[in-house]
Chains A and B, each alone.
Chain A
Amino acid sequence: MEPGMDFHQAFQAIDTDHSGEISVEELEDYCKKMNYKDTFVKKWLNLFDEDESGTITYDEYCNTLGLIPKQEVVEKHKVQQTKQAAGGSASGSAVSTTKTTTKTTTKTSVKGSASTSKQGRSRNEALSGTVLMKLSRARMFQRKAIYRLKKKLARSSGKSATAASASKVQLTEKVIGGEKNGGKRLVPDRRSPRSLPTSVPHRYSPPRPTKCFKDHKRRLRASITPGTVLILLAGRHRGKRVVFLRQLSSGLLLVTGPLKFNGCPLRRIAQSYVIATKTQIDISGVSLPERVNDAYFRRAKQLQAKRAKPSSADPFAKPQSAYQLVDERREDQKAVDSQVMTAIRASPDAKMLASYMRSLFSLRNGQKPHEMVF
């Protein structure tokens, strides 16, 4: 801008055809004329072009700078536009008339005429390789001209109350009775809070999304592989040596006695209640029934039955035994055990292994589990 030139004059200097709006070409011409940097065009469009039409109207210009449009300038524009309209020029001018004549500008009509290159462009960008954005919040506020947006919305909708003013406290005059009270008082419609926090409490974002149990990673000790002989340490089958079949989707281990050897059926057990021995049985040929899974072993049904009876007549009556042996259990036990026992018989030292599976584990005097190899 030349010194001594006011903003209105500046607009007119750039808007060479006095159409009432500065187009990109006019900006570029002016930029070259004044030997400004190339960013001048972008900056101006960013600053002034609120509706992203690709042109800066006199209205937008005045809006941004907080000026009242000069009547003579507006008249000048009108004259120019009518000339253009009469001359039968492009639809752009027709749109421009609507722009200058009406204060309310609809985005759709403007956008239809202007270049759509501005649509969807992001004013901010992430720094490469990081999640950080190039421009700060304050800078983005400036860029998006949110300070103007509020005003614009207020004007276009014709409402006097903007979000800011809506939050403003309204004072009402209230008459108070009694003598020497001042008679009336200004009362705010909303009370100020009893206390205000001295600082904004820091809300810690959850460190990382916590997974629900079914999505947990199931781990298995390297010492436990299908066919490993395990020593059960807890439960009604503690001390028994059982064969590990596979890990179920819940993470629990599926084991079998076999039933004939030690009375332990097809069962689930957690690996923390188990010692894995070095003894392996080759169960590669063993195929487990598909229905044997976590749902197969669930006890939910029995629990529901218990809940159905809230209070029994006799509090000392023993609860009915929940577990009922089902035929499918027998079938699966037989199917699996027959295969496992064949595998045991096929292994070297079969006789010893069989009697080993039958026996119970216990610690003797002088035995230190932390020094023992299992």
Chain B
Amino acid sequence: MGKLDKFVEVGRVAFIANGKDSGKVCAIAEIIDQNRVLIDGPCSGVRRQVCDMKRLHLTRFCIDLPHSARTAVVRRKWTAAKLDEKWKETSWAKKLESRRLRTNMSDFDRFKLARAKQ
């Protein structure tokens, strides 16, 4: 049982695990009910939409958002908090990136990697 420090709250930055926008981060703009939230990720290309909590993995980031903040406000707060860089620096994001690179390696890349490891 991990630390209970990541809460579902307005402004919580969440990672979308599956669906069309899988792999992107967004902010929770509003909580609808037990299972659903309104998310918005203008800086990461996520449209403002309703999302089921089961699809979201909460990150340790939280931005100061008023509830039901419109997209422009979310964008403003996001860029002010420099969330894009902060996210990229996390080992989570780094792991995702390395996994992506590994799957997209061409045969020649794999050869070069194998050689480099020797």
- Contact, CB under 8 Å: A371 / B115: no
**Which of B103, B107, B111, B115 counts the most chain A CB atoms within 10 A?**
B107
**Is the pair A279, B107 in contact by a Cβ cutoff of 8 Å?**
yes
User: What chain A residues lie within 8 Å of B105 (beta carbons)?
Assistant: 373
Task: Say how far A229's CB is from chain B's closest CB, in angstroms.
Answer: 7
Residues of B in contact with A, size category: under 10
A252 at the binding interface (Cβ < 8 Å): no
A352 to B116, CA, bound (A): 11
Beta-carbon contact of A229 and B108 below 8 Å:
yes
Cα distance, A361 to B107, chains bound together (Å): 9
CA gap between A355 and B112 in the complex, in Å: 10
| Interface of A (DSSP majority class) | mixed
Q: Is the pair B106, A373 in contact by a Cβ cutoff of 8 Å?
A: yes
List residues 259-281 of chain A with CB under 8 A from any CB of chain B. 275, 277-279
CB of A40 within 8 A of chain B?
A: no
Are the C-beta atoms of A371 and B103 separated by less than 8 Å?
yes
Cβ of B115 and Cβ of A279 under 8 Å apart? no
B104 at the interface (CB under 8 A from A): yes
Binary contact readout A341-353 vs B (1 if CB under 8 angstroms, 0 otherwise): 0000000010011
For window 91-118 of chain B, which residues contact chain A by CB distance below 8 Å? 103-108, 111-112, 115
| Beta-carbon contact of A373 and B108 below 8 Å | no
| Chain B nearest Cβ from A110, distance in angstroms | 84
* Alpha-carbon gap, A105 to B65, bound state (A): 109
The docked-state distance in angstroms from the alpha carbon of A353 to that of B107 is: 11
B103, B108, B112 — most chain A CB neighbours (10 Å): B108
Contact B111–A231 (Cβ < 8 Å): no
- Residues of A near B111 (CB, < 8 A) are 352, 355-356, 359
How many Å lie between the Cα of A352 and that of B108 in the bound state? 9
Q: Do the beta carbons of B108 and A277 come within 8 Å of each other? A: yes
Return chain A residues, CB-CB under 8 Å to B115: 352, 355
Residue A36 interfacial (CB < 8 Å):
no
What residues of chain A lie closer than 8 Å to B107, measured between beta carbons? Answer: 229, 231, 241, 275, 277-279, 361, 372, 374
Q: A229-B107, A275-B107, A373-B106 are in contact. List 17 more A-B contacts (CB 8 A).
A: A231-B107, A241-B107, A278-B107, A279-B106, A279-B107, A279-B108, A349-B112, A352-B108, A352-B111, A355-B115, A356-B108, A356-B111, A359-B111, A371-B103, A373-B105, A374-B106, A374-B107
Provide 16 A-B residue pairs closer than 8 Å at the C-beta atoms, listed in order of the A residue: A241-B107, A277-B108, A278-B106, A278-B108, A279-B106, A349-B112, A352-B111, A352-B112, A352-B115, A353-B108, A355-B111, A359-B111, A361-B107, A373-B104, A373-B105, A374-B106
